Structure 1
Amino acid sequence: MADSTQVFLVLGATLVAFVWGRFRYDLVALAALLASVLLGLVPTGEAFLGFGHPAVITVAAVLVLSRGFERSGLVDLIAEQALRVGDRLILQMLVLTGTVLVLSGVMNNVGALALMLPVAIRMAREHDSPPSLLLMPLAFGSLLGGLTTLIGTPPNIIIASYRGSIGGEAFGMFAFFPVGASVALAGLAFIVLAGWRLVPQRAGKASLDAMFDTAHYLVELHVPEGGKAVGWSLRDLHQALEETIPVLAVVRGDKRHAGHAFHGTLREDDILLVEAGPEEMKLIEDKAGLVVGPEPPAGESSEEDAADRETKPGHGRTTDKGRPAPVDTEGLQLVEAVVRNDSMMIHRTVTQLRLHNQFGLHLVAVARDGGRLNQRLRDIRFRAGDVLLLQGGEGEIGESLTTLGCLPLASRNLTLGQPRMLVASVAIFAVAVIAMVLDLLPSAVALTGAALVSMMVGVLSLREAYQAIDGPVIVLLGAMIPVGQALETSGGAGLIADALLALGSEWPVVATLAGLFVICTVLSNVVNNAAAALLMAPIAASLAEGFEASLDPFLMVVAISASCAFLTPIGHQSNTLVMGPGGYRFGDYWKLGLPLSVLVMAVAIPLILLVWPL
């Protein structure tokens, strides 16, 4: 069997696995690499050279610098100003999407989105507008902003490195700016002026307050005299129930102890604030002997007592329909977070993760596709994009979420950090950019040096730097680079290019560029955009050679189109991250994404040919 045929089989299986989504994309990429090595398509001695590729090193350095901007307070300062916009929806959209667009040019676009997402959610809540109207434009803005500079998105870094590896000079820091900035501004104008009307409004369902309407689920349970639960710890309670029903607080006298931090044993007359539905309440009553609210001594009940129990917190209040009344949740440190694509939680349950014992977190509720899941918490297998309501210690919850691979959306009271090491982080980055622009250092060396200096001067700690590096993306790039090279060395890229040349032989070159743009765009919407760029770069080079034209416009088409993952929620992490908080469905994205993709192609191709002539 010819090497090219074997490469096509490996890549075909890899693309199917990417689309299927059963296994994480880094595992799929690693399997593709090992298969290529076993088939002799990639020499054994070169199997892992991709992990030392300049593109991989540059991406890792950019992720560290992005975290440095976050820790220094630079983005907090910008976000604080964004919250002063007012109640005009178009102005809110312009400020939020424009801000994330600018930030995405100088830091990782997922990082930029992560920093602005809580701001957008708070803005929607304060002005009582559907979050769905703001979040999809915000995600698309982060993709558009990545087009503007070398470090804005991995496809740009990959294309720049590929150009350098085949004998030319790598694209510089601002080589992408003329075309990328024009496309980004055109996209921003379209979204703000007209495109937002194509975004579905998920008003009631998408609101996080509606998804996690805890007033309908919180109930106060009383430990009666001589009850089974007297002397039990909360762990004993969970074991007896064989269920992970969250105890948010234990009220003893005038003091309330947060459930995640209560390590004592239960006593008579303790009150437990529990997140439970009717089935769980019956289970608690049967197996633990807890009752709804404290029962007054026999003969001492009165209408006045009943009224008092309905108005005071911690006394088993009920409405006139017998339903638990809203309970005071102040100080319970509840935080909402979304599960990232690379999270360790995906396909695992709360029991398998040992969420409370290992991370100090209580899972209170889970929302998916804009609605709260009503199944038992212990049975839920988490998916990317799930929105979680969690309880944990204020000091440790941020670190726990980072380790788990979750993005905090908003605590019940969002507070923005104060600038720290702001001048240092900006100055270090500026020096690295100057070194790159003046060709004093390659981008990988300059950015890695900037990341190292940032750690040495205390902009961020070594631990934070390692946590900032997106391991799955690094593995994806390191594994797929040799596979992409095998596509080229085996002649597979040439075969695809020859087929495209034959189809487009009677058409002008610009038509072939448009076809290349469409193919790469479709590919980027079903696989990771970095993988799309890695696979399409050799094909673009073969097309340029076949047309005896300049390589640059073909590579630029791949760079722009690989970042146009506007059609599906799985094409890019930014799209996945807003799916749960926005209450979007899979088919919502193309309604805005398709016209935006057509606009980007219509603007980009003429500009590419103007800046990078054939």
Structure 2
Amino acid sequence: MTTDQIILFALFGVLFGFLIWGRIRYDLVAFAALLIAVLLGYLPYSEAFMGFGHPAVVIIALVLIVSRGLMNSGAVELIARFVVKPDRPLPVHISIMSVAGAALSAVINNVAALALLMSLDIGAANKAKRAISLSLMPLSFATILGGMITLIGTPPNIVIAQYRGTALGEPYQMFDFAPVGITVSLVGILYVAIIGWRFIPERANSGSLEGDAGLYVCEARVKDESKSIGKQLRDLYPSANEHDITVLGLVRNGKRLPGFSRMVETRAGDFLVLEGDPKSVEKFMGAADLDFVGAEKHGGLRGSSLTILEVIVPDNARIAGRTAIDLRLLYRRGVTLLGVSRNGVRFRDRVRRLPIKPGDMLLLLGPEERMDEVTAWLGVLPLADRRTEVIQRTKALFAIGAFAAAIMLPVLGITDLTIALGLCVIAYVAAGLIGGSDFYELIEWKVIVLLACLIPLSGALESTGGTTLIADAIVTQTAGLPAWAILTVLMVVTMTLSDFLNNVATALIAAPIGVSVANSIGASPDPFLMGVAVAASCAFLTPIGHKNNTIIMGPGNYQFGDYWRMGLLLEIIVIVVAVPALMVFWPL
């Protein structure tokens, strides 16, 4: 071992130690390690920041944006409507949610897939009066498994694909991961749905994912050609109950009809008076085919990305003592007063004609980029973490078409995936599915910086012979064993690292080792690279190995030691299934 190798191994050892420790942000740790490597002369200054332009970094950023665009269009919600029924037996519920989660993770980022389905799973658990912990961890594991199916499903696949392009001259394509990924995912889902969930401790629910959202009185318009036209108001009660909404009455020709108007048939142009929390109101409006006040001001293919913001009215607010119509809020500022919450007190005034009092909580709906300016003008105070994206369901087909085109362009060889996803993002911005102000907020910059810093660092380790040294050690320790056994050892080592390190970091370090091992034993590098991709993605023993496991820890009321109970056997199953599948689809 040379001096350079010793120093670099020591640097990586310190890097891994800080990453596992977790007290310092992992992007800062990686950035510091990069600068140290440059100062020590292992990287030229001109190449220090080349990782930020690496295709893998760009693709990961674009996938996060495209995933949000698909969610904002309601394309993903179309699937979600059919997967949640609280009265299903738990194994059936877990099976359906897991299949849906895996399928979504194959086409959007697996973190985004979990974020969408998690709220549905929590709602189903609360309605069924069972512990959230029993179904939330299986859902997380299923989304991790499903991410292995395509190139864009999980960051390790993107890293491995781009590394193959650098090392072997041609990157993996969109569906090269599918044969092994589908095989492993199906077996893994069978395990979590039938056996795995039984190992999870049944813990008391920690409460709502969103916190204690207030109940608002809102109005929703029955739009032309709505499927609710002609139905009596009571016919909408089952859907309202499903979405935790109370239908309070009906407004027709500008006047609130007496009582609850249960027997009145709805007409186009009527307004339903609803009571519920913001997310429930938004979802019920989608299910009942209703529209919000002022839709004509915000709608259209070129409309802005919309958000619902909860604010509280202080004593000195401009809107205190006045109505939304007095201020001409919609026409002057392009923002709709969607609902009002007044300490649980109901009122019969029209929402826009209600004099606002200090202490009221308001729901404001409008373009994301305009909300800060409008709240400052109104003198109201936004509530932390109380923004709800408005699903623009009329754009679902457009969003699906744009995404399908982005997938097909590289498949047909017209352009590469980076350019195709970039064109998809531009289309989503032009259609108002993604706002200009929140564009950069959708990118997870800590992961981007981590990846951009580790790419040149792993290159330095490879150029100094460090990865070859590790590969030789693996080959030496497994001397005499068949190639499939060596592949198994590599996957076990990679999977163990991924349980404690970021999976992107694990893939970057393990990919060159896999190629070196394959070259040392005269085998094809493809099964070893694919094996690294599978193993780096499958982190099921801890809450820190994969972001999805971290996300569910609070809502599921899990403890650190809960994950290995179901995850250990799953990791063994992944190895047992993946190695033969690799040998079939990617012969050694």
Q: TM-score, normalised by structure 2?
A: 0.71
Q: Percent identity?
A: 42
Shift of 1:460: 1.9
Distance 2:84 2:147 in 1: 23
1:306-332 Cα deviation digits (max 9, x unpaired): xxxxxx999xxxxxxxxxxxxxxxx96
Asked whether the equivalents of residues 135 and 582 of structure 1 are also in contact (C-alpha less than 8 Å), the reply is: yes
Letter in 1 for 2:202: Q
Asked whether the equivalents of residues 180 and 581 of structure 2 are also in contact (C-alpha less than 8 Å), the reply is: yes
Letter in 2 for 1:125: N
* Residue aligning to 1:512: 486
- Can you give the 5+ residue segments of structure 1 that lack an aligned partner in the other structure? 215-257, 267-311, 315-330, 335-356, 363-389, 400-415
2:424 to 404, 428, 450: 450
Distance 1:553 1:359 in 2: 56
1:25 aligns with 2:26: yes
* Residue aligning to 1:522: 496
* Residue aligning to 1:261: 312
Change (3 A) 1:59 1:585: same
* Residue aligning to 1:531: 505
Shift of 1:89: 1.0
Asked whether the equivalents of residues 57 and 448 of structure 1 are also in contact (C-alpha less than 8 Å), the reply is: no
Asked whether the equivalents of residues 120 and 135 of structure 1 are also in contact (C-alpha less than 8 Å), the reply is: yes
Distance 2:122 2:443 in 1: 26
* Residue aligning to 1:167: 168
1:429 aligns with 2:403: yes
Superposed, which structure 2 residues align to 1:331-410 within 5 Å? 360-361=382-383, 397-398=387-388
Change (3 A) 1:358 1:14: farther
* Residue aligning to 2:458: 484
Farther-moved stretch of structure 1 (183-192 vs 442-451): 442-451
Asked whether the equivalents of residues 313 and 361 of structure 2 are also in contact (C-alpha less than 8 Å), the reply is: no
Shift of 1:541: 1.1
1:160-215 Cα deviation digits (max 9, x unpaired): 0000001331100000000001100110111111111011110x354549x9799x
SS in 2 for 1:360: strand
Distance 1:513 1:608 in 2: 10
Asked whether the equivalents of residues 314 and 380 of structure 2 are also in contact (C-alpha less than 8 Å), the reply is: no
Letter in 2 for 1:104: S
Asked whether the equivalents of residues 146 and 185 of structure 2 are also in contact (C-alpha less than 8 Å), the reply is: yes
Asked whether the equivalents of residues 72 and 392 of structure 2 are also in contact (C-alpha less than 8 Å), the reply is: no
* Residue aligning to 1:602: 576
Distance 2:194 2:380 in 1: 48
Distance 1:261 1:456 in 2: 32
SS in 2 for 1:152: coil
1:74 aligns with 2:75: yes
* Residue aligning to 1:466: 440
* Residue aligning to 2:299: none
Superposed, which structure 2 residues align to 1:214-293 within 5 Å? 261-264=312-315
Asked whether the equivalents of residues 205 and 555 of structure 2 are also in contact (C-alpha less than 8 Å), the reply is: no
Asked whether the equivalents of residues 97 and 141 of structure 1 are also in contact (C-alpha less than 8 Å), the reply is: yes
Asked whether the equivalents of residues 85 and 95 of structure 1 are also in contact (C-alpha less than 8 Å), the reply is: no
SS in 2 for 1:82: coil
Change (3 A) 1:49 1:333: same
1:557 aligns with 2:506: no
Distance 1:53 1:117 in 2: 32
Distance 1:538 1:565 in 2: 20
Distance 2:213 2:159 in 1: 45
Distance 1:114 1:516 in 2: 32
1:541 aligns with 2:515: yes
Shift of 1:439: 2.1
* Residue aligning to 2:415: 441
Asked whether the equivalents of residues 514 and 601 of structure 1 are also in contact (C-alpha less than 8 Å), the reply is: yes
Shift of 1:24: 1.1
Letter in 1 for 2:175: F
Shift of 1:531: 0.4
Shift of 1:85: 5.8
Superposed, which structure 2 residues align to 1:199-218 within 5 Å? 199-202=200-203, 204-208=204-208
Letter in 1 for 2:533: A
Distance 1:259 1:75 in 2: 25
The Cα RMSD (Å) is: 2.7
Change (3 A) 1:569 1:333: farther
- Can you give the 5+ residue segments of structure 2 that lack an aligned partner in the other structure? 215-308, 318-342, 346-359, 364-378
Letter in 2 for 1:595: L
Change (3 A) 1:550 1:333: farther
Distance 2:138 2:539 in 1: 13
SS in 2 for 1:166: helix
Letter in 2 for 1:361: L
Distance 2:397 2:438 in 1: 19
1:39-65 Cα deviation digits (max 9, x unpaired): 111111000001000101111111111
